[in-house]
Structure 1
Amino acid sequence: MYKLDSQELKGLREMIINTSTKKLNEYRKLNETELGAPFVFLGDSMIEYFNLNTYLPGIDALNRGIAGATSPFILFKLNMILGNLEPNHIYISIGSNDLVLHEATVQKAVENIKVLLKELTNRYPEAHITYLSTTPVVSVKSKLYKKIYIAGRENHELKTINEQVKIYADLNQLGFINLFDALLDLDGYLDETYTMDGIHLNPKGYMVYASIIKEKLKSMIECSSE
Structure 2
Amino acid sequence: MEEFMKNMFQRQKDEKLERYRRLNRQVVKGQILFTGSSLMEQFPINEIAMTQSIDKIIYNRGIGGYTIPEMLGAMDEQIFDLEPGKIFINIGTNDLSREDETLEMLIVDYRSVLSGISKRLPETRVYLMAYYPVNISVASKQPWPDADKAARLRFERLEKANSAVKELAEEFGYEYIDVNKGLTDETGQTREEFSVDGIHMWPDAYEIVFENMKKYIME
2:15 is equivalent to residue 22 of structure 1: yes
Separation in 1 of the partners of 2:130 and 2:74?
21
Please give the TM-score of this superposition, normalised by the length of structure 1: 0.83
Return closer, same or farther for 1:148/1:215 CA change in 2, 3 Å cut-off. farther
What's the offset of the Cα at 1:78?
A: 1.1
Please give the TM-score of this superposition, normalised by the length of structure 2: 0.86
Within the candidate set 114, 123, 127, 1:126 is matched to 123
What's the offset of the Cα at 1:106?
A: 2.1
Partner of 2:105: 108
2:103 is equivalent to residue 72 of structure 1: no
> How do 1:43-82 and structure 2 match up within 5 A?
43-57=36-50, 58=54, 59-82=56-79
What's the offset of the Cα at 1:12?
A: 6.6
Q: What CA RMSD, in Å, does the superposition of the two structures yield over aligned residues?
A: 2.4
2:124 is equivalent to residue 95 of structure 1: no
Ranges in structure 2 where 5+ consecutive residues have no aligned partner: none
Separation in 2 of the partners of 1:168 and 1:151?
27
Is contact 1:12-1:148 (8 Å) kept?
no
Separation in 2 of the partners of 1:50 and 1:23?
16
What's the offset of the Cα at 1:37?
A: 4.9
Name the count of aligned residue pairs: 212
SS at match of 2:182: helix
Partner of 1:179: 179
2:159 is equivalent to residue 159 of structure 1: yes
Is contact 2:31-2:85 (8 Å) kept?
yes
Partner of 1:202: 202
Return closer, same or farther for 1:148/1:20 CA change in 2, 3 Å cut-off. farther
Is contact 2:195-2:202 (8 Å) kept?
yes
SS at match of 1:84: helix
| Matching residue's letter, 1:180 | N
Ranges in structure 1 where 5+ consecutive residues have no aligned partner: 1-6, 222-226
Separation in 2 of the partners of 1:126 and 1:41?
17
| Matching residue's letter, 1:31 | N
Partner of 2:25: 32
What's the offset of the Cα at 1:205?
A: 0.9
Return closer, same or farther for 1:135/1:212 CA change in 2, 3 Å cut-off. same
Percent identity for Structure 1 against Structure 2: 26
Separation in 2 of the partners of 1:102 and 1:84?
33
SS at match of 2:81: coil
Q: Residue deviations 1:33-86, cap 9 Å, x none?
A: 223351011101111111222123322111111011111111111123345321
What's the offset of the Cα at 1:183?
A: 1.8
